[in-house]
Amino acid sequence: MTGKICVITGATSGIGLATAQALAAQGATVLLLGRNAAKGQAVVSQIQAAFPQGQALFFQTDLALQSSIRQTAQVLLDQFPVIDVLINNAGIWALKRELTTEGIELTFAVNHLAYFLLTHLLYPALQRAPEARIINVSSRNQFDTYMHFDDLQLERHYTGFRAYAQSKLANVLFTYELHRRKPNAHVTANVLHPGLVHTDIGLKHTNWLYALGWRVRRTFWPSLTPAEGAKTSVFLASSPEVKGQSGLYWVNSKVAPSAKDSYSEADARLLWEISEQWCGIRYYFPG
């Protein structure tokens, strides 16, 4: 990965941090996107000290806000005209329904629309790479839901699980539709399930009782370390075995079947069109 430029969202903790560390260890330049500047700079210092063969840079970005994503994307395009890998990794779980300041339900904004928008904005730099890879982190929770097209923002029947599961199904639908629409064979798009990983996702945007339950679950339920959870992301970003493979769902670094609803091309097209409208972009990848 020496000389490769890798963009990773949600890279200051959990799976994203472990992914950045593993790619820096292979010599990559990792561009870390996250909201907390102090935490981001601390992570950069840690990666640089531990993996001098690589390089790390932090870009403060609120992935809930399209305005912030657009600002960061422009900075990245100005500084890095060629990007080799984009890993859309950032994700949240919110117990109560919240809206961003742009008026979008928070889980859908971070877990799906940020993937969709950032991929579109950085595609010109990915297109210039000899072999570019777009990697979207989903979850097995995609199997437990369907797309609520009549109520995507879950105004009527919100639960944290329903919002999260829908966003993870959206990740798969988006990946498959991106594979069908992208104009370049040398740019691949894949999606993965990292496994049940010991992270703090269930401790934020929640209450004390749910946080306690999450701590108990991750303590007593078999779970992976962040480094173990990052293995499939790292494999898809770096392995020569993946060259040319696109539009696939991966578990444990192997191709696996995704949820039945994820194969609906009609649903994927509709989600794409809605996402275009909500992100204010058109004609990047005509259907």
Determine which helix (DSSP H) or strand (DSSP E) holds 47, and give its type and residue range: helix 37-50
Q: What angle do CA 281, 258, 228 make, to 5 degrees?
A: 95
Cβ neighbours for 185, distance < 8 A, ≥ 6 positions apart: 244
CB 278 within 8 A of CB 113: yes
Question: Among 60, 73, 78, 77, which residue's Cα sits nearest to residue 10?
Answer: 60
- Burial environment of residue 274 by CB neighbours within 10 A (0 to 12, 13 to 18, 19 or more): middle
Q: Exposed, middle or buried by CB within 10 Å (0-12, 13-18, 19+), for 243?
A: exposed
Q: How far apart are CA 277 and CA 22, in angstroms?
A: 36
The secondary structure element, H or E, covering residue 275 is helix 265-279
Please, what is the end-to-end C-alpha distance for the chain in angstroms? 33
Could you give the residue numbers annotated as active site? 164
- Distance from C-alpha of 205 to C-alpha of 35, rounded to nearest angstrom: 15
